[in-house]
Amino acid sequence: MTTERHIKLGRQTALISFLLGIGIFGLYFLTSSWELLFVGYAFIALTGLINLGILVSILLKANKDKDNRKKLLTTCGLMLLNIPVMLFYCWVAIILLDTMRITFTNSTQTTLTNINIVGCGGGYIDKLEVGESKIVWVDITGDCSINIDYLSNGQQKEERVAGYVTNSNGQKMKHNIGGKNEEQF
């Protein structure tokens, strides 16, 4: 294989690996789908092997081709840039696994105030107008449940949001305050 072909293959492999990684991670971030975690693990293993094979091939070519060594090693460096990107995605995924991302929507006919998220890492929303939504990231601190209490027309009310959550069980969910909700856990 020619030097130009090695360089082109290395760059294409780096770009395709990067773009597919972004796609899988982006879908996981948006959906919190467990299936995408397994797709991501398989993707890391498969692309790691493919990239390693191509990287070794380019390094061997760089060892033989002294005139184009700098270009070949630059291509290797480009391919290796995917490693910190992959580590960053893994780090964020671990954070997401220990976080409940809850979209609270005021489905009542009144403005809600002093909305306290009780349980796990807790949280607070000062005010939600009728139909308004806010996303709260709640840290999962161990085995816990998530409830809310709030004021509606000066009257204290309570609701269950999630009956049981635990570490590595982070999800993205919606909760209609004062409305119908399906127990997710």
106 in Cβ contact with 178 (< 8 Å) = yes
Supply the pLDDT for residue 185: 46
Spatial neighbors of 81 by CB under 8 A, at least 6 apart, are: 14
Angle between helices 34-64 and 82-97 (to 10 degrees): 160
47 in Cβ contact with 111 (< 8 Å) = no
Side by side, the strands of the sheet bearing 123-128 are 123-128, 112-118, 144-152, 155-165
**Residue 171 DSSP symbol:** -
Supply the pLDDT for residue 180: 81
Q: pLDDT digits over 8-50, tens only?
A: 999 999 999 999 999 999 999 999 888 999 999 999 999 999 9
Supply the pLDDT for residue 137: 96
Q: pLDDT digits over 114-170, tens only?
A: 999 999 999 999 999 999 999 999 999 999 999 999 999 999 999 999 999 999 989
- Rounded-to-integer distance, Cα 171 and Cα 166, Å: 11
**Average pLDDT, integer, range 84-88:** 95
